[in-house]
Amino acid sequence: MRPLDDLIRATIAAEGPMRMDHYMALVLGHPQHGYYMKQDPFGAEGDFLTAPEISQVFGELIGIWCVAAWQGMGSPSAFHLVELGPGRGTLMADMLRAAQLVPAFGAAAKVHFVEMSPVLRAAQRKAVPQAQWHDQFSDVPEGPALIVANEFFDALPIRQFERRNGAWGERVIGLEGGELRLGLVPAPAFHAAYTGEGDVVEVSEARDAVAQQIGARLARQPGAALIIDYGHAPSAPGDTLQAMKRHAYVPLTVSPGDCDVTSHVDFETLGVALKAGGAQVLPLLTQGQFLLAMGLPQRFAKLAATADAATRATLARAEARLADQQQMGNLFKVIASTSPGLTIPYPFGVA
């Protein structure tokens, strides 16, 4: 039984080679067989582990960041606290718990989740029962808003273009002997600044669209956004599309719908889209810089002070995993964006 594999092969047989963004959208989001649609992929037993699942401290520090950003907005008595792609709802639950330090924040916050997966919506409902759910960001009601996204943008579809024999081609999935194979079709309309032979350039219309919508909302109404993901700035060529299963990389076309398929986020392009929407974009930080400035070591030290030896060892591993240069600290980046003229929330803009 390989229902999605069969469907993709039938589609390619009928319509020709499939663009990478179409393939990604199908393998992740097909209503019945898509990777996120049919299962909960997180955790040590699952396919990958995200920062909120590594330690509660991650969400707690983001909750504190949100409280400060809300105060920078003039502490509005009602606002939307929006999370894109909340997974199991762990991040938001940890954020809200930490934000209890300032009860007026919790009283003012209306939680909105943007989530396509019914399975993950059910998990989120257990973690944060009071949330409202939406299929896409543009469905979130108007009003002052704080917007958070962790490892959401990496799951949005990308296209890939490759320079071969002095011309651009688009990477596609085709059929060879009835099996899925990577291929290249001419893309004469594509242009990019890079022209090196063999260069791969990634473009994400889906990411640009959401980032621009966020920017436009921040331009219309007071608010701020915090987007965390793995990726790079400045923009650079490179094939970063990857499929992952049980914490290991697998070929992209193997068992579609059973592997997580993501790519690195181009933070320069994301910033350009936020600005194009009308928002102010703050200088990029690495996840390590952001978490250290927000008090990660102090928070872990506090938890360790009352823990037994085994728990202290687990805490030390989690802290290192989140912030060390060799682990998530450097590969993951944090971009913040606010309404134009809004007080710049710490630690952004602190040289």
Interface residue list for ligand SAH (CB under 6 A)? 28-29, 36, 42, 50, 52-53, 85-87, 91, 114-117, 120, 150-152, 155-156
- How big is the chain, counted in residues? 351
- Closest residue to ligand SAH in the complex (CB): 85
Alpha helices in 82-145 (DSSP H): 90-99, 103-108, 118-127
Quote the least distance from Cβ 138 to ligand SAH, whole Å.
11
Q: Nearest 5°: phi and psi at 99? A: -75, -10
One-letter amino acid at 41 equals P
Identify whether the C-beta of residue 202 lies closer than 8 Å to the C-beta of residue 323.
Answer: no
Nearer to ligand SAH, 135 or 176 (CB): 135
Tell me how many degrees the CA angle 314-265-147 measures, rounded to the nearest 5. 75
Cis before 234? omega within 30: yes
Please, how many CA atoms are within 13 Å of residue 226, restricted to the half-sphere of its CB? 29
- Minimum distance from residue 83 beta carbon to ligand SAH (Å): 7
Residue 24 or 180 having the CB closest to ligand SAH: 24
Cβ density class 199-227: b for 16+ within 10 Å, e for less: bbbbbbebbbbbbbbbbbbbbebbbbbbb
* Residue 202 DSSP SS3: strand
CA nearest 6: which of 242, 173, 178?
Answer: 178
CB of 40 to ligand SAH, least distance (A): 9
State the nearest-atom distance from the C-beta of 210 to ligand SAH, in Å: 8
Q: Which residues contact residue 8 at a Cβ distance below 8 angstroms, ignoring those fewer than 6 apart? A: 18, 23, 26, 27, 173, 180, 256
Nearest residue (CB) to ligand SAH, 70 versus 113: 113
In the bound complex, what is the minimum distance in angstroms from residue 153's beta carbon to ligand SAH? Answer: 9
What one-character-per-residue DSSP string does 160-195 give? EEEEETTEEEEEEEEEETTEEEEEEEE-TT---S--
Please identify, using beta-carbon distances, which residue of 73 and 270 lies nearer to ligand SAH: 270
State whether the Cα torsion 143-216-86-173 is positive or negative: positive
Query: Residue 294 is encoded by which pair of tokens?
Result: 């927000």
- As measured in angstroms, the least distance from the Cβ of 218 to ligand SAH is 20
- CB-nearer residue toward ligand SAH: 46 or 72: 46
105 vs 152, beta carbon nearer ligand SAH? 152
**Shortest gap between Cβ of 104 and ligand SAH (angstroms)?**
26
Minimum CB distance to ligand SAH, residue 336 (Å): 17
Closest CB 7 distance from ligand SAH, rounded Å = 19
For ligand SAH, the closer CB: 80 or 163: 80
Nearer to ligand SAH, 91 or 131 (CB): 91
